Amino acid sequence: MQDTFLSSRRIRCDKSRINVTSDSAASQPLTSSLPIVFTLCLFLLSQMAAVSGGELRVLSPFTENLPYRVTVINCSTADSDDVDETERLAGKKNDKRRRRQEASEGVGRSEGESLRQDPLDVLGPDLMMKILGYLDARSVALSLLVSRGWHGVASSDRLWAPMCEELWIGKAHIPRWSIVPGLSKLITYSRAMIDRRRARITREDLCDHVWEFHFTRGAPDYWRNLDPYWKGTGPPMRRYFHPDGSHSADPGDKVWGGHESCYSVVTGSFTDGRIREHYVRINRWPHLCVSRRQDWGWELSNCLCEYSSIPDAYKEGGTGPLFQAI
């Protein structure tokens, strides 16, 4: 384009008219020298310049190819400089808002990614085991289901050995089935919890324990007068069950009298495995109903007498059946 392209003619626009001014010539109306169509084109260009806040240059075929620079000098709404300043400030506000939003989204993503990380990978197995040590047994057992890594940490004997010791505090008997040599502490704990709900007594339970014996209030007065439990003259009488099916008492027991005695464990069940009736019978006396105490001990009772197992948790190897009893 020729150098004359840079020559300046200025167009002043408002809503009513468009004027063409020159640096060297006096102002004259554009409508007096140019066709109406070109006037309308310049008006549209001036409106575009007003919107954009800048300048537009156009060549006129009617003025010897001199370029016209369309510059918005005055609009009916606001000066172009004010418009530019407003837009610049609005742009800065938008930039700040966008940067704040991007920063907050970045922090949210980083926090979300950290929350989605496996605590075992972040903390390590040793610290994770210390944390699990503050939980109860049920919560630790549920953590076994999270993943293989969690299972490896949550099944450690370092966790379950103290729980087993705590479980056995104050218990009358420790199930033999739960402390088989070679078992992990997790299995030991689980088997002990299963056995404590067992209501069926076995021959091993009868033979492994020593039993305190006393008459009930429904027994004849003669028997109760011989019983130190009612008279308060000495320790309770004791009874013993033997693997051969015999039943005995301490030597010199006045109530026992030296007569022969045998016992049997009777269990009846439905086809679906539910126990219909379960009792222990000694000679031809009324059968003894079986019940379990909170300390995992056993009680046998009928209308005449009552047996109660003496706590023996100190026994090495435990007591009761070696295999799970229903």
Q: Provide the pLDDT for residue 5.
A: 34
Q: What is the distance between the alpha carbons of residues 141 and 278, in angstroms, rounded to a whole number?
A: 33
According to DSSP, the β-strands at 18-22 and 55-59 are unpaired
Give 258's pLDDT tier (boundaries 50, 70, 90).
low
Handedness of CA 18, 22, 23, 26 (dihedral sign): negative
Give 254's pLDDT tier (boundaries 50, 70, 90).
confident
Q: Quick check: 282 pLDDT over 80?
A: yes
Give 259's pLDDT tier (boundaries 50, 70, 90).
confident
Q: Quick check: 289 pLDDT over 90?
A: yes
Q: What is the distance between the alpha carbons of residues 188 and 325, in angstroms, rounded to a whole number?
A: 16
Q: What H or E segment, with its residue span, contains residue 102?
A: helix 80-115
**pLDDT average, residue stretch 4-12:** 38
Q: What is the share, in percent, of the chain residues with pLDDT greater than 90?
A: 41
**Three-state DSSP class for residue 114:** helix
Q: Provide the pLDDT for residue 36.
A: 57
Query: Is the Cβ–Cβ distance between 309 and 213 less than 8 Å?
Result: no
**Three-state DSSP class for residue 126:** helix
Q: Quick check: 82 pLDDT over 80?
A: no
Q: Quick check: 28 pLDDT over 90?
A: no
Which CA distances in Å does 311 have to 160, 171, 212?
Answer: 24, 7, 10
**pLDDT average, residue stretch 273-282:** 78
Q: Provide the pLDDT for residue 22.
A: 43
The mean-pLDDT minimum among 5-14, 90-99, 177-186, 204-213 falls in 5-14
Between the CA atoms of 266, 272, 274 and 278, what dihedral angle is there, to the nearest 10 degrees? Answer: -10
Q: Provide the pLDDT for residue 116.
A: 74
Q: What is the distance between the alpha carbons of residues 290 and 180, in angstroms, rounded to a whole number?
A: 26
Q: Provide the pLDDT for residue 3.
A: 35
The tens digit of pLDDT for each residue in 120-143 reads 888 888 999 999 999 999 999 999
Q: What is the distance between the alpha carbons of residues 74 and 12, in angstroms, rounded to a whole number?
A: 7
- Alpha-helical segments (H) within 116-136: 119-123, 125-132
The mean-pLDDT minimum among 38-52, 260-274, 286-300 falls in 38-52
Q: Provide the pLDDT for residue 234.
A: 86
Q: Is 89 exposed, middle or buried (0-12, 13-18, 19+ CB in 10 A)?
A: exposed
Mean pLDDT across the chain: 76
Q: What H or E segment, with its residue span, contains residue 288?
A: strand 288-292
**pLDDT average, residue stretch 71-86:** 50
**pLDDT average, residue stretch 54-80:** 46
Which of 113-117, 136-140, 229-233 ranks highest by mean pLDDT?
136-140
